[in-house]
Each structure stands twice: as C-alpha cells, then as structure tokens.
A = this chain, B = another copy of it.
Amino acid sequence: MSEYRHDPVNGHWVILADNRSDRPDEYIETGWERISEACPFCEGNEGETPPEIARYAPRRGRTWLARVVPNKYPAVAPGARPPIGRPPPLEALEGYGVHEVVIESPRHLVSWSEMPIEGVRLTCRAYQERLAHLRRRGDLVYGVVFKNVGPAAGASIEHVHGQVLATALLPPPIAVRLAHWREGYHEAGRTVVSRWLDDERRDGARVVAETRHFAAVCPFASRVPYEVRIAPLEPMPYYEAIPAGWLGELASLLRDVVRRIERASARAAYNLIIHTAPFDAGPHDHFHWHIEILPRLTRAAGFEWGTGCFINPLLPETAASRLRAPHRTKP
C-alpha cells in the first residue's frame, strides 16, 4: 500500500509507492556521449571564459583552486537600465539579474566526490562571497546557488562547476514557501526547518549523518530516490554567515553525502541547491538556510508536471539506511 506524505518544509505532498520499483521498464538509457574534446574550465584554458570575477588560490602550489566567471550564456543579465515592465494581462519584465559560474577545480573532475576537501571548502566559501556580494548590490531580490552534475541533471559541461543566479523577482513558489515559514515561525517561535529537523532526529530512521553543527536527512516526503536535505542544527537565515571555522565540517559532510549517493547508485547525476534568505531587508528570522541534493535517477512524468506532486518509488527510510551503510572502500 502506498502513502501520501507531506513535507513540512517545502509544503509539497508526495506519493511514496515502493511497489512501483518492481515495474518493468521497456527502455534502457544507452547513455550520453561527451562529444567535446577541449574543456573551457580546465587549468590553462582560462582565456576561454569571460574575464574572471574572483579567484581562490591555495597557500602554495597551483595558481588557483576555484574561479568565478560570468556565465557566457546568461539566463539573466544586468541591463544598462533598470527592468522595464510590460503590464498585465500578459506581464513581462526585462531579464535583469546576474548569472555567474564557479569553476570548482583546476583539474578535470566531475563531482565533489573526487575533490580534495580543501577544494570543496573553498567552493563553499566562494558561494558565500558571491551571495554576500549580490545581496549588497541592492538591485536584486533573490539569489540561489545550484549545481547540475551529469547530463541527466541538465549539465551541458562536464567539468565540476556550479552556478549563482540572482533575479529581479521572487519566484512565486518561493514566495508561497516564505509565507508558510513566516507563519510557522510566528506560531511556534522556531523555524519550520528546526521543527522538521527535531522530528527527523527524534525518529532517526531517515537521518544519514550528523556532525557537530549540521545534519543530513532523507526527508520524510522525499520527492526522488536518495533525496538529501542538509541544514545547520541551529537556525541561521544566511548561508553566507556560516562561520569560517565551520566550513571544513560542512565541506566534509557534503563530500561524504555525495560519495554515499554515488556508491548507492553508481555515477548518479544530481542537482544540488543552496537556499539562503532572499535579498530584501528582512527580518529573516523565519529563514533557515539549507541545501537540497536531488539525484536524477527517475524521470518526472506527466503526473508530476501536471500536479506538482511527485511519485517516489523508494522509501526514504530505505534510502537513508543504504546511505548510512559503512563505506567499504577507504573514505
């Protein structure tokens, strides 16, 4: 028997139907072929990206460990003038915003699982600094960090990288979520994410890992197999405000979780999203920054597109127990 489950954080319902994992599939994906030989993100090819915005260098050795560049094909761009609108009914605004790329390694790696901890830590710091910078500009409303790893997750470039996209408008699903978090915070005096974390930790069945300051959990209402949500144990609105001393711990947890996902499903494509408070003046006490990792092993179909409700064939309890299993190879 399947189950409808509600996610108290995002507000969605999912259908958990583990009987559907027995469903025969007439198709196998014969995969993707990488047709490119040159890589614009590798060390030595720095001239192939637009001029660098920032660079993160190690104390000695290589000239850089991470680089920030403008996206060469931006979805949004800072125009010469503020956004001009087309009024309703068919409402439009100029695509005002910032779209940057963080090249996360000088070497041609694909996933955080392959990177040294120092590289993941500097990457986490780069995202902090970009978000802080975009927040300070004052002309943008909302910013999000996301990673597409593998072509099935929407990546068009193989070399390990992530993106920062800041917009002049607040996406409506985010606005709905913010209203729900604000209401929950005023009702309970605690963030919705804190209360969810308490419930998950009390139950324990879906907790993947816990460190001093962070927890990684397969949410009760996971939308996809091996979905993981990572959040600080204590509420903090801004990802940018994570103390520098905690970043190594976060980087290590993130790499460990990605490794565990890739062990459970070899070379899994995945999306990773960092949610931080929007750029308005606040207050943002209701916001509890967090990271979502969404492996892309299943394909959203008509039901998901039509209703926004996901059918997930893997129970998060099973997912978490597989992800928790001890590493067989050295860590």
- Where the two chains meet, the residues of A that have a C-beta atom closer than 8 Å to any C-beta of B are 1-6, 8, 11-13, 15-17, 19-20, 22-36, 72-77, 79, 83, 88-95, 144, 146-148, 151-158, 163, 165, 167-169, 171-174, 176, 195-196, 199-200, 203, 220, 271-273, 275, 292, 294, 299-309, 311
Contacts and interface: CB of A to CB of B under 8 A. Distances in A.
Contact of A27 (B3, B79, B156): B156
A51 to B, nearest CB: 18
Nearest to A91: B6
A151 B28 CA distance: 9
17 contacts: A3-B93, A4-B76, A5-B91, A6-B88, A6-B90, A15-B167, A16-B95, A17-B76, A26-B36, A27-B32, A27-B35, A27-B156, A30-B32, A144-B303, A148-B301, A154-B300, A165-B303
Greatest chain B CB density within 10 A among A95, A151, A167 is at A95
B23 A33 contact: no
A30 B30 contact: yes
A35 B28 contact: yes
B15 A148 contact: no
A256 B172 CA distance: 34
A73 B28 contact: no
A81 to B, nearest CB: 10
Given A23-B72, A144-B307, 5 more contacts: A3-B93, A4-B83, A13-B171, A27-B35, A171-B308
Contacts of A73: 17, 19-20, 22-23
Closest 8 CB pairs of A and B: A154-B301, A146-B302, A2-B95, A173-B308, A273-B306, A271-B302, A26-B36, A171-B309
B195 A146 contact: no
Given A275-B306, A303-B144, A305-B273, A89 B34 contact: no
Contacts of A156: 23-27
Contacts of A176: 176
A93 B148 contact: no
B26 A88 contact: no
A77 B16 CA distance: 12
B165 A301 contact: no
B294 A305 contact: yes
Nearest to A200: B90
A6 B158 contact: no
A307 B173 CA distance: 7
B93 A4 contact: yes
Contact of A3 (B94, B163, B171, B220): B94
A10 to B, nearest CB: 9
Contacts of A17: 73-76, 95
Contact of A34 (B2, B26, B34, B172): B26
Contacts of A72: 23
A274 to B, nearest CB: 8
B91 A2 contact: no
